[in-house]
Amino acid sequence: MLLYEGTLVYNSGDEPSAFIMPGITLILSGFMAVFGNEHGVTAFRIFQSILQALCIFPVYYLARYTFNHRVAVITTLLAALYLPDYFTAGSVLTEGSYRIIILVLLCAMIAALHTKKTGWYIGVGALTAAAAYFKPQASLFPCMMLFLWLAYRYSWKEIIRFTFTILAAYIVLLLPWWIRNYMTFGHFILFTSSAGSPFLLGARIKYQLPPPGFFAAYPQYDPQTIFMGSDGEAVAKGLDILKYGLVHEPLKYIYHYTIGRFQSLYFVPFYLHDIFSIQKPVVEMIQKVMITGGLIGIVWAFFRKIGKSLLPVLLALVYFTAIHLPFVAMSRYGYPMAPFFMLFAGYTIHQVMMIIQNIRKKNKGVDKHVENTGYHSSL
């Protein structure tokens, strides 16, 4: 519809929609314009495969910056063998494009932090806007720069100047979307205007309705219609469900919004059909090992006091985890963070290898000492 009619639609027939951000639609329609409808989709999949391959470079850079070359090599090997990447490369979804933008954005933030060049900060704002065209939740990610600025003793004058630089670049690139929405719908739409609320849907535990006691306490809601309605109403409903749950089943709801959310985001692989005939249970086991190894690596790095180089990747993990905790959490939303867990899992593997290497060296030293003292011959 965008290619032939000039109208962005989604679940709206031939009427314009602001239900989704237009990033993937713009890219896909561009490939279709060049290669035709059928071949355009194939070209898009090839493009995503190239993006997945190119991800190796920012992954290596981030691992080397955070730790060292050896950890970076291990991390890139893990990334190259990560099966969900092969699935997303062949899927017509936002994840492939979005993930590489986030990785490059974090690299640009590191470069801007150390060079203090305005050009890099413009790049941070531009990449944030590019990410927002796929998923709006990336928009506040540059706020993490404040922690980096304070850690590296930026002056308040520099902080204010670079904040406005990032913001200006972001606004300029989002203006076309805002103007389109205002001209089409007659009012300002920041990102999207959809019928479903991620916050309300996130209040569902295991996709179930609230307990019967909730409807007795809030008779204005009906089990048949509670998950319907406008965004404004949905937020109020979600808050009422959360209030009731925290009062009557506090442990259940606290678990749901913390550990449960974390497990849904990261411990389940984004792997919706088998690649190379490797079934999902196998990939799930590998995913759990990788995430566990990453968590061990985070703790290990803290105990070894690695330093400020840990901050960028850790802040990325904290931000994108926290931004999803109040809302619907699923493997698709956690997928872009997989390289950061691989990074710390790579560090864990490296440390274990170093321990084994040191043990072997000590054993060789003992054997050599025994040989030099003639202990074997006396026996």
The strand pairing partners of 278, in sequence order, are 275
Task: Write down the mean pLDDT value for the chain.
Answer: 90
Residue 378 falls inside a structural domain: no
Domain that holds residue 335: 2-187+196-365
Residue 68 falls inside a structural domain: yes
The pLDDT of residue 230: 58
Lowest mean pLDDT segment, chosen from 1-5, 44-48, 133-137, 336-340: 1-5
pLDDT greater at residue 159 or residue 367: 159
The pLDDT of residue 379: 35
- Structurally, the chain folds into a number of domains equal to 1
Q: Report whether pLDDT(374) > 60.
A: no
Lowest mean pLDDT segment, chosen from 29-33, 212-216, 338-342: 212-216
Number of H helices, E strands in the chain: 20, 0
CB atoms < 10 A from the CB of 152, how many? 13
pLDDT tens digits, 153-195: 999 999 999 999 999 999 999 999 999 999 999 999 999 886 5
Q: Report whether pLDDT(298) > 80.
A: yes
**What pTM does this model have?**
0.91
pLDDT tens digits, 20-29: 899 999 999 9
Residue 111 falls inside a structural domain: yes
Residues 6+ apart with CB under 8 A from 55: 79, 85, 99, 100, 103, 339
Residue 246 falls inside a structural domain: yes
pLDDT tens digits, 93-138: 999 999 999 999 999 999 999 999 999 999 999 999 999 999 999 9
Residue 203 falls inside a structural domain: yes
Residue 264 falls inside a structural domain: yes
* CA nearest neighbour of 261 among 324, 178, 336: 324
pLDDT tens digits, 179-236: 999 999 999 999 988 656 778 888 888 788 888 888 888 888 888 878 776 566 778 8
Residue 173 falls inside a structural domain: yes
Check: CB of residue 262 under 8 Å from CB of residue 298: no
Supply angle C-alpha 10, 203, 333, rounded to 5.
55
pLDDT tens digits, 272-291: 989 999 999 999 999 999 99
Residue 117 falls inside a structural domain: yes
Average pLDDT (36-65) is 94
Q: Report whether pLDDT(377) > 70.
A: no
Check: CB of residue 313 under 8 Å from CB of residue 62: yes
**Structure confidence at residue 58 as a pLDDT band (50, 70, 90):** very high
